[in-house]
Amino acid sequence: MRPFLYQRATDPDMAVQALGAAAAANNPLTQATAQPLAGGTTLIDLMKLDVMRPTAIVDINPLAQGWSAIEPDGENLRLGALAKMSDVAVHDEIQRNYPVIANSLKLAASAQLRNMATLGGNVMQRTRCSYFRDVSYENCNKRNPGSGCAAMDGVNRMHAVLGVSDQCIATYPGDFAQALIALDATVEITGRSGSRSMPFAELHKMPGSSPDIETTLQPGELISAFTVSGRWPRSVYLKARDRQSYEFALSSAAIALDVQDGTIREARVALGGVATVPWRAREAEALLKGQRFDDGLAQRAADAAFADARGRRHNSFKIALGKRVVARALQQAVTMEI
């Protein structure tokens, strides 16, 4: 860890000014010299590892009063970016009308981390790629652009099979983002020139030729809230992992369905643990929509979700695993009692 200036932002303007002022425009946000601090569960970790080396930390926790509300109004949902993962996970109405959100949060990290971590920080969580997190490996295009990718032909069991490029195969590690992307959430962003909104699906960027650029956020911008239209009581989050708790997904599926009279009117399928970004499986959704559910349909949808998957030495198993997880999650969603 290297010395840094600690600032405490008492209002959003102060926060975005402090963040925007210090960050040179041409910096990718991940390497900006000023970084916002919320729960700190990723940032502090990466600073200790010398992976992130900000010279200024802007503590945005004082903004929690305005930015941490959990507001389901019966039809729509608004979640403040500084709401704690643990508070949202146990919220009655979230559990009832958005089980995919509640469960994606409950199955993430540990109780201690969920008590610290915020929703906004969680979706910005950076990859757990071992080579990215260890600065003694030179070859990491994400950390050290143009240096190559040590994971490509290294130990890559945890790595992505979807959304990969020849520059980077690092997995997006979170759970909650899959729920958001499945539910077509909108993200609200506050910046120096005011606020804007965009589909959550447009927040993360696939690695392509510049894996160091991970999101479309601009320097000085902060996520202030997420919104979801409608209620999704028929939704599940299924997560397969090596341990029973406190472990990242090898494969996960966020599923939300609207089933009426046995016909799937609306289907949402998102994948975690297998892709470089929160992954929406629209091909699978298209297959499901308007159909009556059976196991064969679930299988075809799962196959479609992974049609473009590319495995490497240690992670090819994720393709077969991911398909089984999607099929099983679909079965669970169809048969759940609501």
Residues at the interface with other proteins (CB under 8 A)? 1-3, 50, 110, 128, 130-131, 134-138, 150, 153-155, 157-158, 238, 240-247, 250-251, 317, 321, 324-325, 327-328
By beta-carbon proximity to other proteins, the closer residue of 97 and 315 is 315
Taking the complex as a whole, the smallest distance from the CB of residue 2 to other proteins amounts, in Å, to: 5
Residue whose CB is less far from other proteins, 136 or 260: 136
How many angstroms separate the Cα of 275 from the Cα of each of 251, 254, 280?
A: 9, 13, 10
The tokens for 273 are 């643990």
Q: Which residue, among 197, 44, 220, has the nearest Cα to 126 in the 3D structure?
A: 44
Q: Which residues contact 243 (CB under 8 A, 6 or more apart)?
A: none
- Cβ at position 128, least distance to other proteins in Å: 7
Number of other CB atoms surrounding residue 227 within 10 Å: 18
Query: The tokens of 217 are what?
Result: 């956020």
Residue 105 and residue 170: Cα distance in Å, rounded? 21
CB of 141 to other proteins, least distance (A): 17
Output 166 or 242, the one with its CB closest to other proteins: 242
Q: What torsion, rounded to 10 degrees, do the Cα atoms 301, 228, 170, 112 define?
A: -120
- Closest CB 276 distance from other proteins, rounded Å: 19
Q: Minimum CB separation from other proteins for residue 221, in Å?
A: 29
Of 138, 110, 130, nearest to 171 by C-alpha is 130
Q: Supply the DSSP symbol for 171.
A: P
| Min CB(35)–other proteins separation in Å | 17
For residue 282 the two structure tokens come to 């629209």
**Cβ distance 252 to 238 under 8 Å?**
yes
Residue placing its CB nearer to other proteins in the complex, 213 or 301: 301
Toward other proteins, which CB reaches closer, 62 or 154? 154
In terms of CB distance, is 54 or 191 closer to other proteins?
Answer: 54
Residue type, 41: T
